[in-house]
């Protein structure tokens, strides 16, 4: 059967990015948006744009007078490709132009509220309100195309290793712990709610029980928490799970996946294996569980040295069971001013420090810092030797100290290290030739973390994470010291993703619940169906998930994931383009058995 529609003659024969000298003499039809116009009286230039490029079109005065059009109109241009009198070497199509024979407006446009140019400087609200115009711009198009190709590489990499892509539900059950759920009321079950998944965690473990052995998915996840530049309420994870594996098997798969995606999309060869670092070492050397290893300024433990120093604050910190550590800022003696030290100190205080001790060994008197008087002679010499990078002694450095509980020292010095690296420009460029791609596996996370407010322990990862020691320390364990088989993948100081080897033995699982203070009835209530599934022959398994939005943003050198998400939301989780969230008609609410309450009542219902 043939179509009853005849093919319109304005349909393009070429895109706006493909005509070259070889096409000179050909009759062509182009479709595209009016990027710019230049009227020279006797001749009229139009830059016609689509996502492939820009081609210059020439019109006679008669043609331009006969047909009014403006920027962002969509045109169909019939014409002949000709060599240019004045070529433009800056454009791929710059050697040719299309001399118009016939032109028609396929679609008009009012003056756009934002310019469709690469270097746009417009308010974010306007860009989000008219997202379709923002997305028409070159940089955003290139971002989304890069994202698409990146995902395609990852899919191929998983498929080549026998992974099976399985879709899991978006309407699912509320999760007992973790982030706040997005809820969806059920019409059929009055008073009951679905939740949108925070991750496919439970489903992927069940797929292992079901024998799928190697699963992956490009999965949308939802968390009803406050936003940041690198956090959206819905985001995309590259999720996977494997059976009959050890940590190293999971790492190897991802090293292959990342290697392929970087090779195919960025022309970069990543190392075949990424470095591994235990959590404890990451904290001790970088003050962070997601260390940026592209620069030095590592933390140095001063426990051995402190007793030789008279400074009571340092000694007091050790006596109280805390730590004393320092970072050495190369050249900081001159590059970090008193004013900057003040703001560093206030940053340190915001993070829980009582103050910030510093020393500029090259300086005299007050300029040398508040603790300089304790650094005379051998004491100072020894400290300089301890903190020297690769044994090298450089003059004019700055030493910053942390003396407090271990957590605070890590947090404060880890933060100052990053702050100073940015301030002093120690970071390599985010993209391009000088860029570094420091992938790192961080392993051996603590099993549990104590929550002061709740007064109990919580799983650092989640309660199905396998402990390193399956006896969990025996009869009287020190819960705070237990180590898990959870791991993170870190890239240049960003946490790309996390995962773990799971518990598959019921006795171990029961013991973990016991340590978390979750009794049998609560277990049944919260995790019943998963525990039941795991009882029917659960293979030993483990998995991992990577935040795709962050990964893509990083590979493009962007700070904000908004520029790699087609339709992002604002800091208050609103979609300015379609106006979500919105009020709904009372009928619609009644149908799902929901009535406004609290603040929803105060704002009188202008539905």
Partner RNA sequence: GGGGGCGUAGCUCAAUUGGUUAGAGUGCCGGCCUGUCACGCCGGAGGUUGCGGGUUCAAGUCCCGUCGCCCUCGCCA
CB-based contacts of 180, cutoff 8 Å, min separation 6 = 223, 224, 225
Say whether residue 524 binds RNA (CB under 7 A). no
CA–CA distances in Å: residue 50 to residues 30, 37, 73, 76, 140: 10, 15, 12, 12, 13
Piece in contact with RNA (CB under 7 A), picked from 115-123, 331-339, 376-384, 430-438:
115-123
Closer to RNA by CB, 266 or 510: give it. Answer: 510
Question: What is the distance between the alpha carbons of residues 558 and 552, in angstroms, rounded to a whole number?
Answer: 9
The span of 84-92, 100-108, 236-244, 310-318 binding RNA (CB under 7 A) equals: 84-92
Cα–Cα dist 59/381, whole Å: 79
CA distance 296 to 328: 9
For the annotated binding site for ATP, the residues are 223-225, 232, 495, 547-550
- C-alpha span between 444 and 486 (Å, rounded): 6
Binding flag, residue 454, RNA (CB under 7 A): no
Q: Does 135 bind RNA (CB under 7 A)?
A: no
Burial of 603 (0-12, 13-18, 19+ CB in 10 A): exposed
Phi, psi of 594 (to 5 degrees): -125, 135
Examine residue 178 and tell whether it contacts RNA (CB under 7 A): yes
- Whose Cβ is closer to RNA: residue 197's or residue 259's? 197
Q: Are 411 and 285 in contact (CB under 8 A)?
A: no
Q: Do the Cβ atoms of 449 and 497 come closer than 8 Å?
A: no
Element (H, E) at 139: helix 138-160
Q: Which listed residue (280, 468, 570, 594) binds RNA by CB under 7 A? A: 570
Q: Report the distance separating Cα 281 and Cα 289, nearest Å.
A: 9
Out of 23, 63, 126, 315, the residue judged to bind RNA by CB under 7 A:
126
Query: Can you tell me which of 52, 437, 458, 567 binds RNA, judged by CB under 7 A?
Result: 458
Min. distance of Cβ 458 from RNA in angstroms? 5
Q: Of residues 229-258, which lie at the interface with RNA (CB under 7 A)?
A: 229, 231
Q: Would you count residue 170 as binding RNA (CB under 7 A)?
A: no
Which of 127/360 has CB closer to RNA?
A: 127
| Burial class of residue 593, CB neighbours in 10 A (0-12, 13-18, 19+) | middle
The CA distance from 142 to 348, in Å, is 40
- Which of the stretches 274-282, 283-291, 521-529, 571-579 binds RNA when contact is defined by CB under 7 A? 571-579
Query: Judged by CB under 7 A, does residue 226 bind RNA?
Result: yes
Q: Spell out, one character per residue from 362 to 401, where the chain touches RNA: x when CB under 7 A holds, - when not.
A: ----------------------------------------
As measured in angstroms, the least distance from the Cβ of 56 to RNA is 5
Q: Which stretch binds RNA (CB under 7 A): 68-76, 260-268, 375-383, 402-410?
A: 68-76
Phi and psi for 499 in degrees, rounded to 5?
-170, -175
For position 430 contacting RNA by CB under 7 A, the verdict is no
Question: Which span (87-95, 372-380, 402-410, 519-527) binds RNA, by CB under 7 A?
Answer: 87-95
Name which of 39 and 532 has its Cβ closer to RNA: 39
CB 208 within 8 A of CB 504: no
Q: Is 91 in the site for RNA (CB under 7 A)?
A: yes
Residue closer to RNA by CB (options 339, 579) is 579
CB of 330 to RNA, least distance (A): 25
- Residue 450, C-beta contacts closer than 8 angstroms, at least 6 positions apart: 456, 457, 458, 480
The pattern of x and - marking residues 184 through 213 that bind RNA according to CB under 7 A reads: --------------xx-x------------
Based on CB atoms, which residue is closest to RNA, 38 or 354?
Answer: 38
Largest CA distance in the chain: 96
String of DSSP letters for 228-296: BTTB-SEEEEEEEEEES--HHHHHHHHHHHHHHHHHHHH-----SS--EEEHHHHHHHHSSSS--TTS-
Read off the DSSP letter of residue 436: -
Q: Where are the alpha helices (DSSP H) in 163-270?
A: 201-209, 247-266
574 makes contact with RNA (CB under 7 A): yes
Give Cβ neighbours of residue 148 (< 8 Å, ≥ 6 apart).
none
Instruction: Work out the burial of residue 199: count CB atoms within 10 Å of its CB; fewer than 13 is exposed, 13-18 middle, 19 or more buried.
Output: buried
| Shortest distance in whole angstroms from residue 229 CB to RNA | 3
How big is the site for RNA, counted in residues (CB under 7 A)? 65
Asked whether position 40 contacts RNA by CB under 7 A, the answer is yes
Minimum distance from residue 237 beta carbon to RNA (Å): 10
Q: Which residues bind RNA (CB under 7 A)?
A: 36-43, 45, 47, 56, 58, 68, 70-71, 84-88, 90-91, 94, 97, 111-115, 121-126, 128, 175, 177-180, 198-199, 201, 223, 225-229, 231, 449, 453, 458-463, 560, 570-572, 574, 576
């Amino acid at each position: 059967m043939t179509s009853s529609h005849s093919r319109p003659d304005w349909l393009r024969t070429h895109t706006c990015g493909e005509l070259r000298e070889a096409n000179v003499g050909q009759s062509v039809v182009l479709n595209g948006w009016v990027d710019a116009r230049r009227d020279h009286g006797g001749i009229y230039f139009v830059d016609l744009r689509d996502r492939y490029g820009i081609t210059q079109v020439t019109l006679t005065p008669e043609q331009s007078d006969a047909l009014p059009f403006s920027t962002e109109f969509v045109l169909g241009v019939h014409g002949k490709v000709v060599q240019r009198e004045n070529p433009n070497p800056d454009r791929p199509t710059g050697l040719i132009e299309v001399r118009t024979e016939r032109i028609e407006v396929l679609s008009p446009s009012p003056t756009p509220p934002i310019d469709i140019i690469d270097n746009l400087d417009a308010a974010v609200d306007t860009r989000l309100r008219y997202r379709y115009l923002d997305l028409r711009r070159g940089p955003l198009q290139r971002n989304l195309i890069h994202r698409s190709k990146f995902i395609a590489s990852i899919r191929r990499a998983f498929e080549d290793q026998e992974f099976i892509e399985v879709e899991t539900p978006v309407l699912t059950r509320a999760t007992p712990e973790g982030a706040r759920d997005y809820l969806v009321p059920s019409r059929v079950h009055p008073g009951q709610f679905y939740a949108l998944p925070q991750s496919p965690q439970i489903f992927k473990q069940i797929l292992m029980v079901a024998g799928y052995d190697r699963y992956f998915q490009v999965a949308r996840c939802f968390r009803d928490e406050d936003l940041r530049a690198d956090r959206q309420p819905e985001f995309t994870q590259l999720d996977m799970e494997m059976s009959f594996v050890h940590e190293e098997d999971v790492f190897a798969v991802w090293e292959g996946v990342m290697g392929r995606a970087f090779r195919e999309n960025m022309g970069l060869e990543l190392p075949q294996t990424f470095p591994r670092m235990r959590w404890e070492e990451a904290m001790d050397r970088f003050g962070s569980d997601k260390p940026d290893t592209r620069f030095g300024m590592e933390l140095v433990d001063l426990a051995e040295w402190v007793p030789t120093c008279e400074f009571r604050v340092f000694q007091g910190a050790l006596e109280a069971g805390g730590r004393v550590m320092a970072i050495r800022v190369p050249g900081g003696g001159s590059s970090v001013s008193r004013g900057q030290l003040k703001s560093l100190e206030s940053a340190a205080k915001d993070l829980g420090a009582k103050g910030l001790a510093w020393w500029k060994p090259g300086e005299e008197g007050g300029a040398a810092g508040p603790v300089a008087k304790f650094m005379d002679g051998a004491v100072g010499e020894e400290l300089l030797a301890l903190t020297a990078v690769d044994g090298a002694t450089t003059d004019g450095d700055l030493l910053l100290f942390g003396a407090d509980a271990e957590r605070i020292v890590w947090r404060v010095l880890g933060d100052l290290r990053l702050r100073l690296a940015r301030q002093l420009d120690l970071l390599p460029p985010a993209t391009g030739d000088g860029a570094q791609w420091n992938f790192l596996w961080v392993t051996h996370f603590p099993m549990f973390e104590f929550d002061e407010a709740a007064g109990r322990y919580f799983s650092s990862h989640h309660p199905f994470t396998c402990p390193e020691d399956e006896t969990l320390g025996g009869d009287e364990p020190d819960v705070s010291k237990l180590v898990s088989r959870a791991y993170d993948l870190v890239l240049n100081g960003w946490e790309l993703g996390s995962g773990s080897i799971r518990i598959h033995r019921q006795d171990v699982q029961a013991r973990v619940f016991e340590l978390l203070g979750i009794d049998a009835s609560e277990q049944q209530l919260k995790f019943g169906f998963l525990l039941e599934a795991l009882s029917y022959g659960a293979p030993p398994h483990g998995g991992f998930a990577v935040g795709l939005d962050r990964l893509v943003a990083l590979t493009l050198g962007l700070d904000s994931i908004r520029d790699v998400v087609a339709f992002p939301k604002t800091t208050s989780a609103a979609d300015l383009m379609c106006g979500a969230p919105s009020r709904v008609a009372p009928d619609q609410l009644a149908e799902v058995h929901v009535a406004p309450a609290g603040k929803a009542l105060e704002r009188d219902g202008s539905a």
